[in-house]
Structure 1
Amino acid sequence: MFKIQTLNKIDPVGLKNFPLDQYEIASEFANPDGIIVRSMKMHDMEFPSSLKAIARAGAGVNNIPIDKCTNQGIVVFNTPGANAHAVKELTIAGLMLTSRDIAGSIEWAKSLIGKGDEVPALVEAGKKNFAGQEIRGKTLAVIGLGAIGVLVANAAQALGMNVLGYDPFISVKHAWKLSRNVKQAEGMESLLANADYITLQIPLTEDTKGFINKDKFKMMKDGARLMNFARGGLVNHADLADAIESGKVARYITDFPDEETLKMKNVISIPHLGASTAESETNCAVMAVDQIQEFLENGNIINSVNFPPAEMERTGGARIVVANKNVPNMVSQIATLLASEGYNIANMLNRNKAEIAYNIIDVDRKEADPALADKIAAIDGVIMVRMIQ
């Protein structure tokens, strides 16, 4: 019986995918096999030796101590693309909000409460203060062509925008889904110089922190409109304030407000609503549950942020999964040990990602001696061993 701990409220539609005869689900467990989390910060948590996997019901994993998990052999999953349509729709709304002063006009209209029969005339007289521009025919730069970026690019193109895409690391899967009318920018400078609107669809890493800074602002057109529905921290706020003051940036919209941006003029702050739809929460929960279940039951890894992708069909015998440091001679040591213990390898898969290698090994016995796990774990460089009978 596997024990699954939920650290936040997880959509029940997803949790129903766990077979009740094989899984226990609760918000508190002393020794869980798996954890499903949304936004709870886990950096100060101590992980028990029983913990095998953490699934984040969402794309970002900043709330999870990835290096710590890797060192302890804990596989961390996320759910890329599960909330893509929700974020895409809010990004398209962002195009409208930065083009037409919708938010400001609504607040102004509320100020007319109590004016009685004068309201219609006041509306007609005051609307000129909130005039904007249409997006049709304008150029949108999409920085990052992952699941969300591709959807945004395609939707904007369908709305009549000229779309430039920039992603030197675009995957083949996402490239196939990108409209052929979306043009690839040759570089960042030409991208920003030609864009009326810019949307960020990249993850926050050490390399992308403060990605939009004074140097990037200098490359932009005067009066550009910048959108950030990706991650807080991608925009340098001090440089943003200067760009707004100079007129380089006409408006900035963010889904990640803080004290600084809330005080800035010409900034629209949305309280992190990107994935806040019922459909998105359900999709994320279903994907997180399916991935953690596949790993616990079969050792297969799908959408992990710290372990390599690895999937292999079962051959009918016992399965052994081993994670180790990605150094020479590990596979031969494991195979030699299995042979010395009388196990024949029926099928084997070896994958690596950075400093981690992961092995799925099916043997020709229905059951493997649990003591074998300790012998494999004793090999220098082995991080984690699981026996799946």
Structure 2
Amino acid sequence: MKKVYFDNAATTPMREDVINHMVELMQDNFGNPSSTHAVGRKAKAMMELSRKKIAKHLGVKSSEIIFTSGGTEADNIIILGAVKDLGVKRIITSKIEHHAVINSSEFISEKSGVKLDYVSLTKEGLIDYTHLEQLLAESDEKTLVSLMHINNELGHITDIKYVGELCQKYNALFHSDTVQSLGFYPVDFTDVAVDFITASAHKFYGPKGIGFAVIKNQPKIKPLIYGGSQERGRRAGTENTFGVGGMEKALTLAYENMDKEHAHVKMLKTYCIDLLKETFPKVRINGLSGDFEKSSHKVVNFTLPHPNFQSDMLILQLDMHGISCSKGSACQSGSQIGSFVLNEIYGENQHGLRVSFSINNTKEEVAYFVKTLKQILD
């Protein structure tokens, strides 16, 4: 059976060069970086070199990077730490953020009484910057704004440079979850007024279980996990050196090949949208996922006016034909109330199909997907 993987917004396959690099580290550089002997020092040196390379790609200081288990932990470190350790009294976020941001914000709001405000969306599902400024202007309480760079369901791009400028204007802290953008868009954070950045390696062809938080000029944030003094006392536990090395390798390759790979994936998205519109004249491309200036080059989210389209059976039927895709965030799989992102834009019980492409996909796979979808729905 033909196998087609179109769920690259959920996770990406590791590059072969990354796998080989990690195997080499496992064989020849297995030491504990906290150990003072030669084997430990070798592991420490590799980890710190990786930290410096990642920092250079982002335009941040290596001392500002904390390695974590992934994006969810990194988001929690920032949001919970901002309230507990930095005196934040109000959080502004949106209702289409990743659940790592939404749920941690709701948790700390309920536990500590910090005010939680949600910025409105435009009718297309973009952040309403006018409303964001209104929220920032209405209070002088210490505020954290947490808005993702690229939405994981629709691919909508937030203008984080402009958000950073607004936050500077009103003396607010700014956190951006860049899990869906890092490695795909050349953002230089020396030019963006952001205080906190979070990322995860498995989204850019790296290993799972490793990510990082960038914390700028905020030394008072304390760890969520207590134990040893790893990561400058901000994240206890023996570091995942193999993961760190693999993450750096994946990010370096992503930057080296960015233009060529971006063009290939963008071509697949264009072809998919054109073929969907040709095959299903009544298709709705959700939000602005068909607008390349305002959405990610790799995500297409669409809805069809068909009674079987709302059923999880559609995902299973596609899977039976060897096609892997999703109805939205993998962290929300199994939900029967539709996509929480689409519900915010179009109303309750909205269902969409999300296909997201990688450097490994082909036009032939796109054609097979659309043909198979038509066969299932006919």
TM norm structure 1? 0.32
Quick check: which has more Rg, 1 or 2?
A: 1
Q: Which has the higher helix share?
A: 2
* Structure ranking higher on relative contact order (CA contacts 8 Å, 6+ apart): 2
